[in-house]
Amino acid sequence: MSRPGLAALAVLALIAVLAMVGPALWTIAPEATDPVHGLAGASAAHPLGTDELGRDVLSRLLWGSRVTLLVGVAAMIAALLIGLAVGAVAGFKGGWVDAVLMRFTDGMLAIPAFFFILVVITVLGTGVGTLVLVIGALSWMPVARVVYGETLRWKEAEFVLAARSLGVPGGRLLARHILPQAIPSLVVSATLGVAFAILTESALSYLGLGVQPPLPSWGNMLQRAQQYVFTAPVLAIYPGVAITVVVLAFNFLGDGLRDALDPRRRR
Amino acid sequence: MVVFASALTFFFVNLAPGGPASIMRFDVTAEQRDVLIRAMGLDRPVPQRYAEWLAAAVHGDLGTSLLTNEPVSARIADRLPNTLTLAGSALLISILLGIPIGLVQAVRRGSPIDHVLSLASAIGLAVPVFWLGIVLILVFAVSLHVLPSAGVTSVSSDTLWDRVTHLVLPAVALATTILPTVVRFTRSSTVEVLHEDYVRTAASKGLAPGVVIRRHALRNALIPVTSAVGALVPRLLGGTVVTEAVFGWPGMGRLALEAAQGRDYPLVTGLTVVIAAIAVGASIVVDLAYTWIDPRVRLQ
């Protein structure tokens, strides 16, 4: 894989390790408030300072990384499953099923997703589970298109026709012979999908519609930080840098994987 | 397309658990609830109500806001110009900056400039819009005091210049939602066009490199860029929700946020439909731009 791709992988591995063991090593509770020492600068007790309620910023960043990464990965898996189902069925069945499902996909792509997210949250309310489903339900379209394209490309291939002539049933044909061909493209979509999901989660949490306090996420840490932008500007810096680095790493990893898995794109 | 968006929204809102029927607060009695449900027409089947809603919507009646009792269409019309100004400026910035940057990268492919600009657009893709907005406020409003941080105008002076200064930061922040993608598309399509035979012919007959790029390469390179911009408009419009929240911009995005927080179903539905209509309108404009850039389309 390309050097940026490998560097991105190393960064992500480091962040994953921090998210897993960080909260165990840095034992200040992310919810522990200390209003007297609110908005304090960096000190030995709080290396990154405290927020407006005196909560330790380092601890919230570490715990927040768990929430942010878990929501990102879970939402990507949801998007992958929906996209896989829609794309595979549309491509394999063809005919009116294909027409209906792919028109639906195009329609979903043309609606400004964020407004529809607001509609869904208006009805279902906020919560981590809802958040994962909402992001998944609004980002499966690119996956569906990729799977659709691959299914169309391979369903008439000779090895598939051979399997079909041996009497392999449709579902098995799809699962064992056609969809494995789509795995390289799906790996790329999934990687880029995590980046998109993390960006969406952070934006929704910033708006107060995503992860709810006191549970920390990088997005909801920024919600309050904006109010204190005059008095404690660094509060707004750390979570934003964290989000940018993680999303950047996922994007680089996705691009690196695409080049590595698709020989035609190598130059 | 607009009908698709409205149907999706309407049915979702009305069929999901926790829909309009459950918004009645706990302190109402069963009889009061019945009266309310009948008054709002919630006792009739959803498809029938959708048909009635659609028939009214065609005539510009999107229902009544639950929070303020004003007509939804009036509340949206109030905010529409602000959102169009913001999104239009952001689109303009993305096109006027994105195409030249992509062009420079393609012409100087592999050079340090190309690498620096590629890295910049990669970062641009990764930065959350709302955070970029906060950073812009931090730099230009808090530290340098050169631009205002929120609102459409100042209270004291409502001049054109005042409005422009208020527009700069939100428009720049919103533009970053699509600018890096415009740059990438321009770069890759120009790189491809520069390998074409007609470009080599033009160069080999002794035309200056600038002329080759402007007269021969650019127009062909812009064709895929145009359709990419069209596909990016929904993302740009979606970005208005966050951008308007950061900068206190009184547009449709912030209205949608308020509607979502207040569970104002008719308002949220109306907003989604109007935004979808704007997205469709934008794609029609893009199609027109297409025929202007590529005369071959006109012949068909």
ipTM for the predicted complex: 0.79
Task: Kindly report the CATH number assigned to the domain that includes residue A225.
Answer: 1.10.3720.10
Tokens 């657009």 identify what position? B121
**Model confidence pLDDT, tens digit, residues B241-261:** 888 888 888 888 888 888 887
The answer to whether the CB atoms of A240 and B142 lie below 8 A apart is: no
Q: Examine residue A26 and state whether it is found in any structural domain, yes or no.
A: no
User: What spatial distance separates the first Cα and last Cα of chain B, rounded to whole Å?
Assistant: 24
Residues B130 and B279 in one domain: yes
Residues B54 and B166 in one domain: no
Q: Examine residue B70 and state whether it is found in any structural domain, yes or no.
A: no
Q: Which two tokens stand for residue A255?
A: 């691009």
* Euclidean distance between CA atoms A233 and A229, whole angstroms: 4
Residues of chain B by 3-state class (helix, strand, coil), percent to 5: 75, 0, 25
| Distance (Å) from the alpha carbon of A132 to chain B's nearest alpha carbon | 17
User: What pLDDT score does B25 carry?
Assistant: 47
| Chain B residues near residue A236 by CB distance under 8 angstroms | 131, 134-135, 138
Residues B27 and B149 in one domain: no
User: What pLDDT score does B163 carry?
Assistant: 74
Residues B42 and B170 in one domain: no
User: What pLDDT score does B29 carry?
Assistant: 59
Query: Which residue in chain B has the smallest CA separation from A108?
Result: B5
* Euclidean distance between CA atoms B193 and B222, whole angstroms: 10
- The DSSP 8-state label assigned to residue A51 in this structure reads -
| Chain A residues near residue B237 by CB distance under 8 angstroms | 112, 115
User: What pLDDT score does B37 carry?
Assistant: 60
Residues B222 and B258 in one domain: yes
Q: Examine residue A36 and state whether it is found in any structural domain, yes or no.
A: no
CA-CA distances (angstroms) from residue A13 to A110, A135, A192, B8?
Answer: 35, 24, 16, 40
| Chain A residues near residue B5 by CB distance under 8 angstroms | 107, 110-111
Strand ranges for B94-210 from DSSP E? none
Residue A89 sits in which domain range? 3-20+58-265
Q: Examine residue B45 and state whether it is found in any structural domain, yes or no.
A: yes
Q: Examine residue A49 and state whether it is found in any structural domain, yes or no.
A: no
Q: What is the torsion angle, in degrees rounded to the nearest 10, for the CA atoms of residue B218, residue B220, residue B225 and residue B231? A: 150
pTM: 0.82
| Chain A residues near residue B1 by CB distance under 8 angstroms | 107, 110
- Pick from B16, B263, B272: which is nearest to A115 by CB? B272
Q: Examine residue B189 and state whether it is found in any structural domain, yes or no.
A: yes
Q: Examine residue B65 and state whether it is found in any structural domain, yes or no.
A: no
Task: Kindly report the CATH number assigned to the domain that includes residue B116.
Answer: 1.10.3720.10
Residues B29 and B150 in one domain: no
Q: Examine residue A241 and state whether it is found in any structural domain, yes or no.
A: yes
Burial, A88: exposed, middle or buried (Cβ in 10 Å; 0-12, 13-18, 19+)?
A: buried
CA geometry: angle at A157 spanning A156 and A160, to 5°? 90
Instruction: Tell me how many domains chain A contains.
Output: 1
| Chain A residues near residue B257 by CB distance under 8 angstroms | 118, 207, 209
Q: Examine residue B63 and state whether it is found in any structural domain, yes or no.
A: no
Q: Examine residue A248 and state whether it is found in any structural domain, yes or no.
A: yes
* Euclidean distance between CA atoms A247 and B220, whole angstroms: 33
Q: Are B120 and B199 in contact (CB under 8 A)?
A: no
Q: Examine residue B149 and state whether it is found in any structural domain, yes or no.
A: yes
- Pick from A114, A226, A244: which is nearest to B134 by CB? A226
User: What pLDDT score does B295 carry?
Assistant: 72
Q: Examine residue B115 and state whether it is found in any structural domain, yes or no.
A: yes
Residues B96 and B153 in one domain: yes
Q: Examine residue A46 and state whether it is found in any structural domain, yes or no.
A: no
A69: Cβ contacts below 8 Å, ≥ 6 apart: A15, A16, A19, A198, A246
Residues B22 and B143 in one domain: no
The answer to whether the CB atoms of B18 and A125 lie below 8 A apart is: yes
Q: Examine residue A235 and state whether it is found in any structural domain, yes or no.
A: yes
Residues B53 and B92 in one domain: no
Q: Within an 8 Å CB–CB cutoff, is residue A17 touching chain B?
A: no
* Euclidean distance between CA atoms B29 and A77, whole angstroms: 44
Q: Are B243 and B173 in contact (CB under 8 A)?
A: yes
* Euclidean distance between CA atoms B239 and A39, whole angstroms: 30
Q: Are B105 and A181 in contact (CB under 8 A)?
A: no
User: What pLDDT score does A190 carry?
Assistant: 86
Q: Examine residue B88 and state whether it is found in any structural domain, yes or no.
A: yes
CA A38 to chain centre: 32
The answer to whether the CB atoms of B260 and A122 lie below 8 A apart is: yes
Residues B7 and B110 in one domain: no
- Pick from B18, B130, B138: which is nearest to A123 by CB? B18
Residue B7 sits in which domain range? 2-58
The pLDDT tens digits along chain A (267 residues) read 777 788 888 888 888 887 777 777 666 667 666 666 666 666 666 666 666 666 777 777 788 888 888 888 898 999 999 988 888 888 888 788 888 888 888 888 777 777 878 878 777 777 788 888 888 888 888 888 888 888 888 878 788 888 888 877 877 787 777 888 888 888 888 888 888 888 888 888 888 887 777 788 888 888 877 777 677 777 778 888 888 888 888 888 888 888 787 756 544
Residues B130 and B259 in one domain: yes
Q: Examine residue A39 and state whether it is found in any structural domain, yes or no.
A: no
Residue type, B130: F
User: What pLDDT score does B1 carry?
Assistant: 67
- Centre a 10 Å sphere on the Cβ of residue A212 and count the other Cβ atoms it contains: 14
Instruction: Tell me how many domains chain B contains.
Output: 2
Helix segments in chain A, DSSP class H? 3-25, 57-93, 95-110, 113-124, 128-137, 141-154, 158-165, 170-172, 183-206, 218-225, 234-261
Question: B295 preceded by cis ω (within 30°)?
Answer: no
Candidates A100, A109, A115: best to mutate against B (most CBs of B within 10 A) is: A115
Which residues numbered 82-111 in A keep a CB inside 8 Å of some CB on B? 107, 109-111
B269: Cβ contacts below 8 Å, ≥ 6 apart: A119, B6, B9, B10, B13, B62, B63
User: What pLDDT score does B24 carry?
Assistant: 47
- For chain B, residues with pLDDT lower than 50 are 18-19, 21, 23-26
Residues B259 and B114 in one domain: yes
CA B152 to chain centre: 18
The answer to whether the CB atoms of A229 and B268 lie below 8 A apart is: no
Q: Are A118 and A138 in contact (CB under 8 A)?
A: no
User: What pLDDT score does B155 carry?
Assistant: 63
